[in-house]
Amino acid sequence: MASEPPPAPSAPDPAAKAPSKARSRRRRTIALVLLSIVLLLALDQVGVRELSGRDFPSSDPLALALRARVEQLAAPAWGGRVPGSEGNAAAARSLADALAAANVKPFPSLGGYLAPLSEPTSPLGHNVLGWIPPEGESRGTIVLGAHFDHLGMTDEGLLLGADDNAAAVAVLLGALPSILAQHPRPYGVAVAFFNTEESPYFGTPRQGSQRFVAALPREIGGLSAVRLAVVLDLIGGVVWRPTADTIFACGAEKARGLPAIVDGVREPGLDVRRLGIHAVENIPGYVPQPFSDYDVFRDHGVPFLFLSSGRTPRYHRASDLPETLHYDRMARTSRWIAGLVAALSAAPPALSFDPRGEDFAAERDTLRYAFGAAAKPWTSIPGTSPITWARILGDRSRLEAMAEPGHTWTPEDARAIERASFRLQCLLYRFPVCFTL
Ligand SMILES: [Zn+2]
């Protein structure tokens, strides 16, 4: 490479002032950009406060009962309801009592509410099952399920599991009086409080829901008679204002006829938004990961609906406490579930499982709604970094493109939906690497 001789040093002349002025302008610009990035970061962290149940004082008459139930189940005295512990057994007995008080009977073939997880002994405890028989000619059974066990003592301290999953148990109990008041009732309703959902039992034959399916009460008449399994997990948490009144209904796309029924059930003040189960389970770059007790039903070809308000930063932490939950929304969810049972009774008995079922348009609409809010700095999700924000803008424009007239769905759309859905869940859970998705 040829080089020129260096210029000889010369006395400063007026022309040299111009570049030095440009330099200082550049420095000012860089300083301004840095300052605004710092400001943005600070705004992300403190400007948008993370919400909790304290921001949603309850006024719904049912909310008080739900709260009392959650406080009982998540009381330190029951130690987080760890399978095999006295606290878990006490929780199971209290749920049996709650079913009796609600006038829901046990399955006659079981002779009681407590169904063992193994035989001849059941050291880990029991599932708690109730049975509302059909009236007249039966169309089959609807399972309403939620696990009641939790993790208890960990390195972090005592995990009491208010949102995971005392809230869902309370919501199901809250739905029972309205379901019992429905006539006609062509479906039997199996109320299932599953044990042993948490690690290390998840995905093993020791999982309460797997045991339920393997030892189905005789009255149900076999798994093919289960027309729908509605499973709730993490149904009380709240972290972000735009989704504070939202629950996600996942998996309806896998049953022909179910999406329209789900969309048709309305409860004032509750936003039920559908999301495909793939958008919950398929983390980009990872093996698909089932999340709750709906899994065993899906694996056996039973139509299912998974209801959840999603993980919050309190998920599997000692901070998952009763005072952090949104009890009014939970009360609305109880009524919505009773409404769903009524709608199924009123609709023709036509649900059938469709493993390849998809409904990208519904997912696009659910995510467009969330990303519309997440993309605005004043309604962004707490903890959105500038890089994540840029990714959110990208997600939003991809979702907008999917809403153009005549759009044809591609596998890339499915992946973009999964990425957007996970970025959203990652942010709401406050997982630190949401921008890498
Ligand atoms: Zn859990």
Q: What is the pLDDT of residue 42?
A: 64
| Gap from CA of 150 to ligand 1 centroid (Å) | 6
CA of 198 to the centre of ligand 1 (A): 5
Q: Are strands 188-194 and 141-147 parallel, antiparallel or unpaired?
A: parallel
Asked whether residue 102 carries a pLDDT value surpassing 80, the answer given is yes
Q: For residue 294, report the distance from its CA to the centre of ligand 1, in Å.
A: 14
CA 149 to ligand 1 center in whole angstroms:
8
CATH number of 53-357: 3.40.630.10
Stretch among 112-121, 277-286, 288-297, 365-374 having the lowest mean pLDDT: 277-286
Average pLDDT, integer, range 145-155: 97
**Sign of the dihedral through C-alpha 333, 337, 338, 339:** positive
Q: Is the pLDDT of residue 264 over 50?
A: yes
Residue 2 banded pLDDT, cuts 50, 70, 90 = very low
CA distance 120 to 116: 9
CA of 232 to the centre of ligand 1 (A): 12
Average confidence (pLDDT) over 260-282: 96
257 alpha carbon – ligand 1 mean position (Å): 30
Q: Where are the domains of the chain?
A: 53-357, 363-436
- Round to whole Å and give the CA distance between 3 and 6: 9
Q: How many other CB atoms are there within 10 angstroms of residue 166's CB atom?
A: 30
DSSP for 41-94 reads: HHIIIIISPPP-GGGS----HHHHHHHHHHHHHT-GGGTT--TTSHHHHHHHHH
pLDDT for 5 equals 46
Is residue 43 pLDDT above 80, yes or no? no
Q: Three-state DSSP class for 228?
A: strand
CA 209/CA 193 separation, integer angstroms: 9
* CB 354, CB 256: distance < 8 Å: yes
Q: Are 119 and 129 in contact (CB under 8 A)?
A: no
Q: How far is the CA of 41 from the centre of ligand 1 (A)?
A: 31
- The answer, yes or no, to whether residue 435 has pLDDT greater than 90, is no
Which distant-in-sequence residues (6+ apart) come within 8 Å of 59 by Cβ?
A: 328
In contact, 135 and 186? CB cutoff 8 Å: yes
Q: Please tell me the distance from the alpha carbon of residue 411 to that of residue 398, in angstroms, as a whole number.
A: 13
Q: Where does the pLDDT of residue 41 fall: very low under 50, low under 70, confident under 90, or very high at 90 and above?
A: low
Asked if the model's pLDDT at residue 91 lies above 50, the reply is: yes
Mean pLDDT of 338-349: 94
**DSSP H or E segment with residue 128:** strand 126-132
Instruction: Give pLDDT tens digits for 306-325.
Output: 999 999 999 999 999 999 99
Query: How many Å lie between the centroid of ligand 1 and the Cα of residue 316?
Result: 6
Distance 311 CA to ligand 1 centre (A): 10
Q: pLDDT averaged over the chain? A: 92
Q: Kindly give the pairing relationship between strand 114-116 and strand 226-232.
A: unpaired
Task: Report H helices in 107-157.
Answer: none
The string of DSSP letters for 325-365 reads S-HHHHHHHHHHHHHHHHHHHHS-S--EE-TT---HHHHHH
The SS3 call for residue 421 is helix
What is the distance in A from the centroid of ligand 1 to the CA of 105?
Answer: 28
* pLDDT tens digits along 156-202: 999 999 999 999 999 999 999 999 999 999 999 999 999 999 999 99
How does pLDDT run across 211-253, given as a tens digit for each residue? 999 999 999 999 999 999 999 999 999 999 999 999 999 999 9
In the reported structure, the alpha carbon of residue 163 is separated from the centroid of ligand 1 by a whole-number distance in angstroms of: 9
Residue 139, CA distances (Å) to 148, 179, 230, 347, 366 in order: 28, 16, 16, 11, 32
> Ligand 1 centre from 81 Cα, in Å?
12
Which residues, in sequence order, are bridge partners of residue 158?
153
In the reported structure, the alpha carbon of residue 264 is separated from the centroid of ligand 1 by a whole-number distance in angstroms of 30
